[in-house]
Amino acid sequence: MDLNTLTKLLNIPGYKVVEIISMTEDEMHLRLEAYKRKEAVCSGCGEVHKTGYHGETEVIVEDLPISERRVYLHVKKRRYRCPKDGKIYVEKISWLKKRVRVTYRFARQVNRLTGITTNQEAGWYLGLDDEVVYRIDKEILEEQAKEKLNPPPSAIHISVDEVSYRKYHRYLTNVIDTDKRVVIWNAKGRKSEVLNRYYEGIGERDCKKIKSVALDGARHYISSTNKYAVNALIVYDKFHVIQNLNRAVDRVRKDELQKARKEENEELVELVNCRQRFILLKNKKNLTENQAEHLKKLCEINRFIYKAMLLKESFLEVYSSNDIKQAEECLNKWIKQAWSSCLKPFVELSYKFKEKMQYILNWFHKKISSAISEGFNNKIKRLKRMAYGYKDINYFRLKIHQHCGLLNPRLNT
């Protein structure tokens, strides 16, 4: 193969192919030399050195494949003694990745692959070790994060939620731009101090620009938002409100199932066992004919579940209200009904809704939802399962931005 043709194919500024060392069906080894050699840039301090020359060393780096052959480039690097610390460093070459023997464009290819599949699969496809893929991917993501995520991006409408990244209540807090539908910030933990770091990162000016924040009702997030985002409308979003209602219904079901087992009431056990729980959680309008008949029979033989279902259905009238005044009347009425129901899960919920009433009603001012956060949480859990977990929490945070945020390679195409 002609050397000039190979030089044009590689298209590396200032370098040309001077020798084909070897070529097989799987690999191609090429020796490159610089024909426009510039002054050496120290890889230690990043400055140009004109003195302290200490010889040359040849490195072998992998580049993008040509004709399904893996391409290895043999490149000479100059070595210099750095006057700042007295150590010997090789020169920094702009198109070579530091600390990993691959070209920048090959490293970007690795990064793009890990954006759509696991590191193990990307490594298998490229013929690289998992550890090499991890180091290449992490460095590329860290470089992109410095450019796009530092300082943290601000937004007008945001959603805040936490997701578990490890058992024993280990959480990450995610901030999502609901307009762009991307994760813009995340950090380890779920205390108010964690969210404070985001608000402090964007600064007082951008905090004042935030118009609405959708939350799951957590006190620590509310206190942090009230402290920094002084102009923001805090919305206890509909998704989490309904989720809390469903949890209360399910707790009643579990209590009644336990009683039925003690009393050996086989008919009730059959109606309220775990396989039937989704009938209680589904919207009544979405039930099939058999499910509706099942629910009717259950309500006839158990008054506590009947009460729970009535409370669940009556609460939905709050969101069917025409205006905020009517919604407030419906909510106050529901809170009284829940408090007097003698069902412990609903009594506790009535106190919770009473305390956060204003945040529930704010939904009528701005119908923002953190349902998008739950959607991202599912993607994050899927990402964690695909990789069988992450030991490096900072790398996991970067992977979340790669799959759900501003580091997603699809956003650049």
Q: Is the pTM here over 0.85, yes or no?
A: no
Query: Is residue 373 predicted with pLDDT exceeding 70?
Result: yes
Q: Binning pLDDT at 50, 70 and 90, where does residue 84 land?
A: confident
Q: At what angle do helices 238-263 and 303-319 cross, to 10 degrees?
A: 180
Output the average pLDDT for the chain. 87
Q: Binning pLDDT at 50, 70 and 90, where does residue 256 land?
A: confident
Q: Binning pLDDT at 50, 70 and 90, where does residue 49 land?
A: confident
pLDDT at residue 198, rounded to an integer: 95
pLDDT at residue 396, rounded to an integer: 92
Of 22-31, 110-119, 194-203, 306-315, which range is least confident?
306-315
pLDDT at residue 413, rounded to an integer: 52
Of 56-70, 216-230, 268-282, 348-362, which range is least confident?
268-282
pLDDT at residue 383, rounded to an integer: 87
pLDDT, mean of residues 366-380: 83
Q: Binning pLDDT at 50, 70 and 90, where does residue 260 land?
A: confident
pLDDT at residue 308, rounded to an integer: 83
What number of other Cβ atoms are within 10 A of residue 362's Cβ? Answer: 21
pLDDT at residue 358, rounded to an integer: 93
Query: Is residue 297 predicted with pLDDT exceeding 80?
Result: no
pLDDT at residue 282, rounded to an integer: 65
pLDDT, mean of residues 146-159: 93
pLDDT, mean of residues 209-213: 94
Q: Binning pLDDT at 50, 70 and 90, where does residue 280 land?
A: low
Query: Is residue 217 predicted with pLDDT exceeding 90?
Result: no
pLDDT, mean of residues 134-150: 93
Higher pLDDT among residues 287 and 183, named by residue: 183
Q: Binning pLDDT at 50, 70 and 90, where does residue 1 land?
A: low
Query: Is residue 111 predicted with pLDDT exceeding 60?
Result: yes
Query: Is residue 36 predicted with pLDDT exceeding 80?
Result: no
pLDDT, mean of residues 191-220: 93
pLDDT at residue 274, rounded to an integer: 62
pLDDT at residue 355, rounded to an integer: 92
pLDDT digits (tens, 9 = 90+) for 381-394: 888 888 887 888 99
pLDDT at residue 74, rounded to an integer: 95
